[in-house]
Amino acid sequence: MIVVLNRLSIALSGKRKFMREISVDLGKKSYPIFIGEDLLANTSWLESLIASQQVMIVTNTTIEQLYLAQLKQSISKFKPAVTIIPDGESFKTLGVMNKIITGLLESKFSRDSYLIALGGGVVGDMTGFAAACYQRGISYIQIPTTLLAQVDSSVGGKTAVNHELGKNMIGAFHQPAAVISDTDVLKTLPDRELIAGLAEVIKYGLIRDSEFFFWLETNMEKLLERDADALTHVIERSCINKAEVVAQDEKESGLRAILNLGHSFGHAIETAKNYNDWLHGEAVATGMLMAADLSCRLGWLDKESVDRVRSLLERAALPVRLPTGIEPARMRELMSIDKKAKQGKLFLILLKGIGQSIVTSEFETEPLKETLSCFPSVATGDK
């Protein structure tokens, strides 16, 4: 069962504020997601979440300048070690992850130590994978600093690094001990990063929550203006949606695959571009529209719904075209090595309505070719 609680917390300023808690129900591996303001400044509460004297913070060169000092101060009693990795999807590799492992070994960390991922999806995925690998598994806490990470990648225990031939092909399922989403950190998030996160938010409305999709159609401008209440609502609603799916299918043996709407197309875009130029959310946005287009060609989704998807993505300033230089044949080739491919069959998440998704390999090749061929390309930097 998913539980949403309103808890009254006291920030360091002395002001009383509400903190939301969502439980991801996975039996012995259950953990809380906390959403609220000033969470990184709440020393005693943060310290209570760490059950070890050996703590290492992993962050990147960008977040280091913004929030590392505050977090170190808040958990200063642990005298945390720190590992800094480069910022960017192109650095999400085994080689860079090895820097985290080396830091743990040099500090002589034991099996009961804690890693803390302070950053976006790349930091979270790599820290989680390092935690899964080090001494066959240690604990870690996610502190996501981007909207995309707060609504998606920090929740669910998927950890991985990329390979030059495919995105997230090397990884493990390893659930965090807690997720801490401090909404204050979004104030320093660049507009492009905020917009990229909205792609994953829209995804939840498309795959299982039609009421949420309608809410997004009504409130998109508030999100773009960074309205605090609107952003808190989408983080909470997105996390509830993901938690409910993960609780039913932790390791993606069935239902959980719906969380990958648009990702087979999107991952192909990212791989073709060598993980440069486009952000993950931007690639997923185009991928979701391609999935909607294919669903329409198969007769499963009406054109009006496709137009609603396109309109909402455009209002969110997300791309709805492919980047230049990716031929349909190359897209299809890259999609064939997607993690959802089984026994030579490509499985896609498609739509039968707004809020109704399916995982299927039962589609004809020709409509897929038509979808891959019909999307016009756009030059990098002009999405």
**Annotated catalytic sites, by residue?**
136, 158, 200, 242, 252, 256, 260, 263, 267, 280
Q: How many CA atoms does the CB half-sphere of 356 hold within 13 Å?
A: 8
How far apart CA 202 and CA 248 sit, in angstroms, is: 21
SS (H, E, C) 15-47: CEEEEEEEEECCHHHCEEEEEECCHHHCHHHHH
Contact 186, 147 (CB under 8 A): yes
84 φ/ψ angles, rounded to the nearest 5 degrees: -105, 130
How far apart CA 147 and CA 185 sit, in angstroms, is: 9
DSSP summary character for residue 293: H
Angle 68-71-72 from CA coordinates, rounded to 5°: 85
How far apart CA 261 and CA 267 sit, in angstroms, is: 11
How far apart CA 132 and CA 174 sit, in angstroms, is: 6
The single residue listed with the structure tokens 């709805």 is: 320
How far apart CA 278 and CA 76 sit, in angstroms, is: 37
CA trace torsion 113, 118, 119, 122 (10° rounding): 0
How far apart CA 74 and CA 97 sit, in angstroms, is: 26
H-only helix segments in the chain: 43-48, 61-63, 69-74, 94-106, 121-133, 147-148, 191-207, 210-224, 228-248, 263-272, 280-297, 303-315, 328-335, 365-374
